[in-house]
A and B are shown apart, each in its own frame.
With several copies, the nearest count.
Chain A
């Protein structure tokens, strides 16, 4: 577990995330058109443009907590809608997880995700199977924790998170929405993938890509 992820690597991760979201703007909006109000892509792209601006200023040896807090504030002001305070709270709370100052190890990365997930869940009061981003994040964080407990390698831990996130995202197709705008559709929401679950998946996908490449080994 000697691998350390620096603030600068977290920055790379979030830049990759921003790029992935911007590539997928139309896709996210299309998903939100089917069961929401057709703006999730627009909202996320607005937030990611602001995030990219913010991430341009690379401060020397910035500590992880204040970095995550500033990401949170950027997302809170930039995304809007329901997703803004949810992603914002995720990072606000992640910023309170233990660090080594300007880096975290894989245990701490897993804790960071756990803190973020718990914060998001307290904010939104959604449960698993309500057809929200929780359905992506909760299995992903649980998979990380399990892999960590099983002393897996960083690459395996991150791959497990990504795979669980993917399954969770796909699972939202099968279930009925009980939170957010899609809930107004009741059973008609079944058969459609949740937009927020999709944007949340990219968090784990890009984490696996960036941290495996830069950090593993």
Chain B
């Protein structure tokens, strides 16, 4: 039933309306230009935190709108970043004079649209900045690294900081620290494909795609004979060595399915990760397992580690009330 999601335009609009109808106490949706804002009132002087993203990665970004996280979010077409017109509408809704922070995954479209929006906002006298999320160690050149699970973490950290009264500078700084302390990698498990086009080749039953992107960007096809532990041994060293993470580091572990991964398999993946965390003497202080950054209905998962300190831990634990995160 690929066609359900493929109706250009209207599927996004209806899905957006669906999300708002499912969470009427938390979010409010606007159309044309499309954006979503929180219903919870803002403390005065609060910095606005906004994120835009192509659709198909739900709950990101709309599911992160609400108290303690995003003030507003904009969904683009499938896998295509939203326009400055949408982003400016979100700015006008969320800005209360203390400035705006955009959380942007490092893809050309997201960065370019945000930079253009920031120029427009500055012309209107609104102080606007962005933090670039680039946690994907599958890309060797740091400048080209894509944004993965750290986008979820950055939205939470920035939102908690803003909610608790951090200034724009301070919110930018702590969010940049959160991203700088995070590393991720993705694994595709079923179809080596661009979901939109139904193209692509089925992976063999014993094969994965290592370092896959969340828009069908291909990874490296590897045959895996030993099951999950072998997969985790392929992604963990690049993650751990890059920061690097060291024994006794306190970490936050985020495991996200890509939308087509059975929960059974996600917990299988988690088990192998936890075993290695213990072997590396990493202290998993907090964890989140579920669908937090998806790629339409493809099979696969991403793993993200963030090195924690007391400030980041406090901001992570701060109350949040959104469709996707709630505590």
Chain A residues near B (Cβ < 8 Å): 29, 33, 37-39, 42-43, 46, 73, 76-86, 88-89, 123-124, 179-181, 183-185
Contacts and interface: CB of A to CB of B under 8 A. Distances in A.
B79 A39 contact: yes
Contact of B112 (A39, A43, A82, A181): A82
A37 B83 contact: no
Contacts of A86: 112
A170 to B, nearest CB: 22
12 contacts: A33-B194, A37-B196, A37-B216, A39-B79, A76-B116, A81-B108, A84-B83, A84-B113, A123-B116, A124-B108, A180-B108, A181-B217
A184 B144 contact: yes
Interface string B77-94: 111111111100000000
Contacts of A181: 107-108, 215, 217
Contact of A38 (B81, B112, B216): B216
Interface residues of B, number: 33
Interface string B114-146: 011000000000000000000000010000101
B139 to A, nearest CB: 6
Nearest to A88: B116
B218 interface: yes
A33 B79 contact: no
Interface of B: 8, 33, 54, 76-86, 107-109, 112-113, 115-116, 139, 144, 146, 194, 196-197, 199, 213, 215-218
A77 B196 contact: no
Given A42-B77, A85-B84, A89-B116, 18 more contacts: A37-B79, A37-B196, A37-B216, A76-B84, A77-B83, A77-B85, A77-B86, A79-B83, A80-B80, A80-B82, A81-B54, A82-B108, A85-B109, A85-B112, A124-B112, A180-B108, A184-B139, A184-B144
A77 B112 contact: no
Contact of B215 (A37, A46, A84): A37
A128 B112 CA distance: 18
Contacts, number: 91
A76 B217 contact: no
A73 B84 CA distance: 9
Given A77-B33, A124-B108, A181-B217, A37 B194 contact: yes
Contacts of B144: 183-184
Contacts of B218: 185
A212 to B, nearest CB: 33
With most chain B CB atoms within 10 A of its CB, the pick from A42, A81, A123, A185 is A81
Given A77-B84, A80-B83, A181-B108, A33 B197 contact: yes
A82 B112 CA distance: 6
Contact of A81 (B80, B85, B216, B217): B80
Contacts of B86: 77
A33 B199 contact: yes
